[in-house]
Structure 1
């Protein structure tokens, strides 16, 4: 990305920090990771992809969260507890008979991004698992309480996990 394009993207994200990451990426023909990295520095921290398993094991202890998979054709949302997983046969497997289950190609995780920003008029906090191509594998959002505020216990865990595995963004 040219320095003028990067400066324009950073200015856009500073003015519109709640923009849908995948929409901005598609409109600008760039990877979603570049959009996340262009957010104001105080809103994002990025850790290495090999933290995938540690992050998922921690999230499995948070209780009810929302996991979102956003593709060009659909947005899938799961709200509930994420089960603990384990590595087997080349995948990180979420194995339970009901609810969320599946198999993640954890070795394709290139980074784990922690994002806190305004979205649709409310505070938002999520972990974006970014693949080696700069795409978003999926996001896990901090849950909300009965007043629709972020759950403070989860926000504390989110921030502690970010502190453990991610570096502050470079402005």
Structure 2
């Protein structure tokens, strides 16, 4: 990305931190990861992370929302994420009903912890980013009955970020 394009993207995200990341990426012909990296300081932490460790921790959080956003659809699952294990080249979600399946954990190049405003409310999510800079999926911290972020999950979110992506200095 040219420095002028990067500067424009950073300015846009500073003015619109709640923009739909995938839409911005498509409109500006950049990856969703590039859009995350353009968010204002303090809104995102990105690093290599450990896919299986992150998923096992999230499985203990209770009800969250997992979103898969493609060009053709946005799939949302709200509920507890099942535990999983690595086998036969996949991270296998162990559950016979509800959310289950096989995730290509080896394609996860980075994990991002994002806190930003979205539609007038605070939001927090973990983005699992593939080697092409796209989102594999996102897991959002749940909300309580008042639609505020669940404090217990937000604490787990911060603890997981600190464990997987320790801050330097």
Shorter-chain TM-score category? Answer: over 0.9
- Match of 2:42, SS state, is helix
SS at match of 1:123: strand
Distance 1:165 1:3 in 2: 30
**SS in structure 2 opposite 1:42?**
coil
Cross-structure match for 2:105: 106
Q: In structure 1, what is the Cα distance between the partners aligned to 2:95 and 2:166?
A: 33
Query: Could you tell me how far 1:168 is from its partner in structure 2?
Result: 5.2
Match of residue 25 from structure 2? 25
TM-score by structure 1 length? 0.96
Runs of 4+ residues over 2 Å off in structure 1: none
Give, in whole Å, the separation in 2 of the partners of 1:15 and 1:8.
11
Unaligned runs of 5+ in 1: none
Between the two structures, name the one with larger relative contact order (CA 8 Å, sep ≥ 6).
Answer: 1
Instruction: Report what 1:65 is aligned to.
Output: 64
Aligned length: 168
Asked if 1:143 corresponds to 2:142, the answer is yes
Q: Counterpart in 2 of 1:97?
A: 96
Match of 2:79 in 1: 80
Deviation at 1:97, TM superposition (A): 1.1
TM-score (norm 2): 0.97
